[in-house]
Structure 1
Amino acid sequence: MLQGTGSNVGKSLLVAGLCRAARRRGLSVAPFKPQNMSNNAAVTADGGEIGRAQALQAMACGLEPHTDMNPVLLKPETDTGAQVIVQGRRFGHSAAGNYGALKAQLMGPVLDSFARLRAAHDLVIVEGAGSPAEINLRARDIANMGFARAADVPVVLIGDIHRGGVIAQIVGTQAVLDAGDATMITGFVINRFRGDVRLFDDGYAAIVARTGWPGFGVVPWFFDAVKLPAEDALDLPRGSFGAGLKVAVPALSRIANFDDLDPLAQEPGVSLSMIAPGQPIPGDTDLVILPGSKSTRGDLAFLRAQGWDIDIAAHVRRGGHVLGICGGYQMLGQVVRDPLGLEGPAGDTPGLRLLDVETTMQGDKRLTRMHARHARTGAAIQGYEIHLGRTTGADCARPFAHLAGPVSGPGLPAETTPDGATSTDGRITGSYLHGMFSDDSFRAAWLAGFGVKPSGESYGAAVDRTLDALADHLETHMDVTGLLAAAR
């Protein structure tokens, strides 16, 4: 199990790289994260949802994503509450103050999922969440030492030298852990080093001397990480536009499934920028993409608070294009209704009124990986749906795509169900299909409609090559053999 001295120290990336390294050594390996907090979710082969990072780790293992790989997923809806997903299915909502009591019910499903993976594979590599040094959260913990001790899984501690103070990160973690938790740690890794690693020799030795833990290596910064699906929306491109199709994406407060944007951001003919809160949408934008959201009505209020509704209206008056994906599609309509209070307080919120549609949140969440065909170009699409809302209205008569059955079905059958909507002038479109731009043939056809010459690069193949490069990187700079030997 890899645990970190804090959040965002690189645990997800290291697990993905170690999974690929173990697979290349001939091991059957699977990833596992007991508890994740993310609105960036993937739909699994068994019809549930897990954190996107575990889906990437599954790819590194050569496996289809499965709900057992991330049995508890928390999807923040407000600053103080989150939807709770257990083994892929919506379990309910929990306020932050009440989640500690709820965790007592969740250790059982966590251990059940882990036991199934352990029985099916030679090796399971587990990712912690946050830090075990958060001793205020230790009671009933299921994410770090609580899980490690319950499942008897040895721990390697990851420190992030890029943040500074890495000696204190690791030595301090040992200092605050109780003795039983500290004995679970079998060693440490220093991550994200830049410069001459020899300059840290004395620091590395000091950690060993003060903790008694062996080190498994110092890992330099892996610059090609930008080619992998982003774990955090903050990792997406920001700043001014470059050359090419100028795509602006407002950084919503509850942005979800933002890895939809990664394949576009890596196209040389596209200049994609996340627009930070408080910043205007540039006047020379060609296309605004409203991304998914875990709280559509909440993010409509957030969007208006930034003045982005005014910017989008001006963009449309100038002849610009807008694409809404899932929650972003819902925002483009006349109204979003949540009579049951599924994503916050019950009520209705006016939409941006750029599409003649309206959305009502319903209790049954749609979780499906789908074949589809793009209505305008006829290009085939593989994507997925993950939403509560049902959207209807006049502009649905001009769908974005035609759904043609689940991915697990036989190929691409005849068109069946319409998806999404298009304005009468064709410049405003919305769709429930996540992951559409990962489909190389669709992305090429869609970009051609904007006069952009696609790269011809396979996005999936590029991600796979990057995982191999990451495994090479870790084999060079870590004692992978010693780390794997610590597994029980």
Structure 2
Amino acid sequence: MPAVMIQGTGSNVGKSMLVAGLCRAALRRGLKVAPFKPQNMSNNAAVTADGGEIGRAQALQARACELEPVTDMNPVLLKPETETGAQVIVQGRRLTSTRAADYAGLKPRLMGAVLESFGRLSAEHLVIVEGAGSPAEVNLRAGDIANMGFARAAGVPVVLAGDIDRGGVIAQIVGTQAVLDPQDAAQVAGFLINKFRGDPRLFDAGYRMIEARTGWRGFGVVPWFAQAHRLPAEDALDIASGPATGGVRIAVPMLSRIANFDDLDPLAAEPGVELVMVRPGEAIPECRAVILPGTKSTRGDLAFLRAQGWDIDILAHHRRGGAVLGICGGYQMLGRCVRDPEGIEGPAGETPGLGLLDVETVMAPDKRLSRTRAVHAASGAEITGYEIHIGRTEGPDCAHPFAHVAGRPEGACNGRVAGSYLHGMFAGDGFRAAWLAGLGVRATGSYEAGVEAALEALADHLEAHLDVAGLLALAR
């Protein structure tokens, strides 16, 4: 099957971005290419053309291939619900929720789905596969479906990516080979170095040392990609617009189960906005607006929010005349109460909300997954987004909707407070401009055009510093 796999020496070494760039580079060479990640762990999900959900990173990679995202591109998605448990999404649909200790028992069943999805993709495309975490986590090797277990089952050659920015990249790569089973190590066709700052030639001696120690072929040293911030963030810590810019400040509490936080990327890209991600233990600063983002555990994150004192900060912000917007789980938090009588997100029960909207939410087992077009009630601006949530929200403030979807009301408003289930709303230039105008900010540019330009620049970057032709030639 025509495929090559990028694995990493650890998490956050840049695998997702490398795959996106290689996908675009392959597309520009006239190849029919598709991305694939056997198993992803993320609460940042996208709704696919076939009505399921996959990791948001795979949706970006599909865009790099000029394909609609489909569930086969990420057949197993783990969405953490607690410190020790996660929801298991298989080929786009919820299979079960499980504790980490019990997940190993599911893996033989999941491997079948992984290989089935891979088979469908590779029947029509050259597939560029992304691993998860690191194959050096050999304590997890039994039943592995994410790294070497998949690579060997599918017969896919592996290129190992090391992250020089975090230091110790020689040990990362040589050490990975040292702990791998010999048959797993034999699956590795080479390595590359990612995130180099400065002149890559300064690492020539280290590069040759890795080649000599491992016997693996080097495919290049990739310098730090300066336009990474223009692509949807994979980590909530990556999306803040940085230090004070003099722009209008918008604060976002970093909930413990924050989900679909790439909703915020278009705001971070606006020159007139200072987007502040408020970390646990920090107070919400004075700002023009607070956005409560999505969460995988609304009641759990209500408790987390209160433990940080953020409920007091948000109520004080509202009393001072500040705006508040809740998206999805954040919308549910703004109401009077969140009830979960069936224990869908955790122990059955109910939790008081912040009481800024006169609505109540009841959790239900059915998840709504849809791509959605709406019209913003206040401005008439079109919103193109998606819904991915459980729960039904009702109450008097729903009579003052945030938007209309096919003529029906969506969300709720009460003065400066608004809530909506619509993810991705800020990606549309028209709505983003209308919402920011209400805060006294003039929006500039096109977010989507910026993402497209960044993908092109990323492909150029990899072509300049990697042996892309040699790497793609590994696919067989």
TM-score range, shorter chain: over 0.9
Distance 1:360 1:208 in 2: 58
Tell me what 2:436 maps to. 447
Q: 5+ residue gaps in structure 2?
A: none
Which residue is 2:410 aligned to? 419
Deviation at 1:308, TM superposition (A): 0.3
**Helix, strand or coil at the partner of 1:249:** strand
Which one of 458, 463, 478 corresponds to residue 446 of structure 2? 458
The 5 Å alignment of 1:301-316 reads: 301-316=303-318
Q: Which residue of 2 aligns with 1:363?
A: 365
Distance 2:349 2:49 in 1: 34
AA matched with 2:395: G
Question: 2:159–2:190: 8 Å Cα contact kept in structure 1?
Answer: yes
Superposed CA RMSD in Å reads: 0.9
Tell me, yes or no, if structure 1 residue 130 matches structure 2 residue 121.
no
* 1:156 maps onto 2:159 in alignment: yes
Give runs of aligned pairs for residues 182-261 of structure 1, distance below 5 A. 182-237=185-240, 241-261=244-264
Cα distance per residue 1:415-450 (max 9 Å; x no partner) = 2x2110001xx2000000000000111111222222
* Partners of 1:240 and 1:295 in 2: CA distance: 30
Correspondences of 1:30-41 after superposition (within 5 Å)? 30-41=34-45
Distance in 2, matches of 1:223 and 1:71, equals: 31
**TM-score where L is the length of structure 2:** 0.98
In the TM superposition, 1:247-326 aligns within 5 A as 247-283=250-286, 285-326=287-328
Q: Return the alpha-carbon distance in structure 1 between the equivalents of residues 279 and 346 of structure 2.
A: 24
Aligned counterparts, 1:66-81, within 5 A: 66-81=70-85
- Which of 369, 373, 376 is the aligned partner of 1:374? 376
User: Within the alignment, does 1:141 sit opposite 2:130 as a pair?
Assistant: no
Amino acid at match of 1:75: K
Q: In structure 2, do the counterparts of structure 1 residues 371 and 22 end up closer, same or farther at CA, with 3 Å as the change threshold? A: same
The size of the alignment, in residue pairs, is: 472
Q: Structure 1: how far apart are the matches of 2:392 and 2:319?
A: 28
Question: Which amino acid is the alignment partner of residue 18 of structure 2?
Answer: L
CA contact (8 A) 2:242 2:274 kept: no
Asked whether 1:48 is paired with 2:39, we answer: no
Q: Cα distance, 1:241 vs. partner?
A: 3.7
Cα distance between partner residues in 1 of 2:83 and 2:434: 39
C-alpha distance in 2 between matches for 1:237 and 1:379: 26
CA deviations 1:67-105 (Å, max 9, x no partner) are 000000000010000000000001110100000111111
Q: Deviations over 1:105-152 (max 9, x none)?
A: 10011001000000121x100000000011100000000000001100
Structure 1 position 244, deviation (Å): 2.2
Q: Secondary structure at the match of 2:232?
A: coil
For residue 227 of structure 2, give the secondary structure of its aligned residue in structure 1.
helix
Q: 2:472 aligned with 1:481, yes or no?
A: no
| 3-state DSSP of counterpart to 1:223 | coil
Contact 2:344–2:363 (CA under 8 A) maintained in structure 1: yes
Q: Is the alpha carbon distance of 1:253 and 1:271 closer, same or farther for their aligned partners in structure 2, counting shifts above 3 Å?
A: same
Contact 2:241 2:268 in 1 (8 A): no
Alignment of 1:335-346 (within 5 A): 335-346=337-348
Read off the aligned partner of 2:363 and give its amino acid letter: M
Deviation, 1:240, is 5.3
* Cα separation, partners in 2 of 1:240 and 1:300, compared to 1, 3 Å: farther
Does the 8 A contact of 1:238 with 1:275 survive in 2? no
1:437 alignment partner in structure 2 = 426
Question: 1:472 and 2:460 equivalent?
Answer: yes
Name the CA distance, whole Å, in 2 between partners of 1:161 and 1:37: 24
1:196 is displaced (CA, Å) by 2.1
In structure 2, the partner of 1:25 is: 29
Cα separation, 2, equivalents of 1:370 and 1:239: 31
SS at match of 1:78: coil
The answer to whether the 8 Å contact 1:20/1:467 transfers is yes
Partner-residue secondary structure (3-state), 2:123: helix
Kept in 2, the 8 Å contact 1:385–1:432? The answer is yes
Q: CA deviation at 1:461?
A: 1.1
TM-score, scaled to structure 1: 0.96
Q: 1:369 to 1:268 in 2, by over 3 A?
A: same
Displacement, 1:341? 1.2
Dislocated runs of 4+, deviation >4 Å: none
**How many Å apart are 1:238 and its aligned residue?**
6.7
Q: Distance in 2 between matches of 1:45 and 1:241?
A: 39
The alpha carbon displacement at 1:239 in A equals 6.2
- What is the deviation of 1:243? 1.6
Listed as ranges, the gaps of 5+ residues in structure 1 are 405-414
Which string of whole-angstrom CA distances, capped at 9 and with x for unpartnered residues, describes residues 225-245 of structure 1?
000000111112176543222
Deviation per residue, 1:205-257 (Å, 9 max, x gap): 01000100010000000010000000111112176543222100000010000
Instruction: Read off the aligned partner of 2:231 and give its amino acid letter.
Output: L
Task: For 2:222 and 2:426, locate their aligned partners in 1 and report how far apart those are by CA, in whole Å.
Answer: 32
